[in-house]
Each structure stands twice: as C-alpha cells, then as structure tokens.
Amino acid sequence: AQSVTQLDSHVSVSEGTPVLLRCNYSSSYSPSLFWYVQHPNKGLQLLLKYTSAATLVKGINGFEAEFKKSETSFHLTKPSAHMSDAAEYFCVVSPSYNTDKLIFGTGTRLQVFP
C-alpha cells in the first residue's frame, strides 16, 4: 500500500523568504514521487518528479525537492517565494513501475504575503 502525508495544511510566508512544504510517504514498492501545483480555476501542473535517479530534483519556477529514503520524506523547497507561488500544492506517490496509479496527499495551501 502507498500513501503520502502532507504535514501542513496551510503555510504562510512573506515574499522573498524561503518556502518549505513537507511531505512524508509510505510505500511497499520503490516509489516515484511528484509535486503538483493547483492554481485557482486551473488544472494541476507538474512541478517536479523523482523516478529513482538523482535524489535532488529540480523543477519549474525555482522549486526543488530532495528524496530522503532514510526519512521517507520528499519535502518541497524554494529559496525565495514570489506572489505568484500562492496556490495549493500536492505531494503524490506512485509505484515506480506504474505511474498511472497516483496517490495524492491532502494538499498544502501556500499563502505569500507582500
């Protein structure tokens, strides 16, 4: 069985400060891990994915995440938040052999204050 736990339902930061969105996973199989972003009234967009290659994954818009097997974590970070980063972020897990089966976390809402 697989699952993800997003440790914070809401995160608030000031523009220009670092962003940290936390995610822990559970997987019976070697996992693939993803972060998706959902802006209001828009479709989910893939930010980045880990598929058993490099453990530090760089994504779009300056985001990156590090796969830590020992901690079963895949936290999302960005050095400097921008107002346009305000959105809902989902951590997602799937078996590495079948990324058709995506299991989504409950989401973290990121607010960015000027």
Partner 1 sequence: EAGVVQSPRYKIIEKKQPVAFWCNPISGHNTLYWYRQNLGQGPELLIRYENEEAVDDSQLPKDRFSAERLKGVDSTLKIQPAELGDSAVYLCASSDIRDRPYNEQFFGPGTRLTVL
Site of interaction with partner 1 (CB under 8 A): 32, 36, 41-46, 49, 51, 90, 92, 96-102, 104-107
Of the candidates 32, 36, 26, 28, the residue with the CA atom closest to the CA atom of residue 76: 36
The C-alpha atoms of residue 4 and residue 79 are separated, in whole angstroms, by: 24
* Minimum distance from residue 41 beta carbon to partner 1 (Å): 6
The C-alpha atoms of residue 67 and residue 11 are separated, in whole angstroms, by: 21
86 or 102: CB nearest partner 1: 102
77 or 96: CB nearest partner 1: 96
* Minimum distance from residue 113 beta carbon to partner 1 (Å): 22
* Minimum distance from residue 9 beta carbon to partner 1 (Å): 8
Helix (H) or strand (E) holding 87: strand 87-95
13 or 36: CB nearest partner 1: 36
Amino acid at 88: E
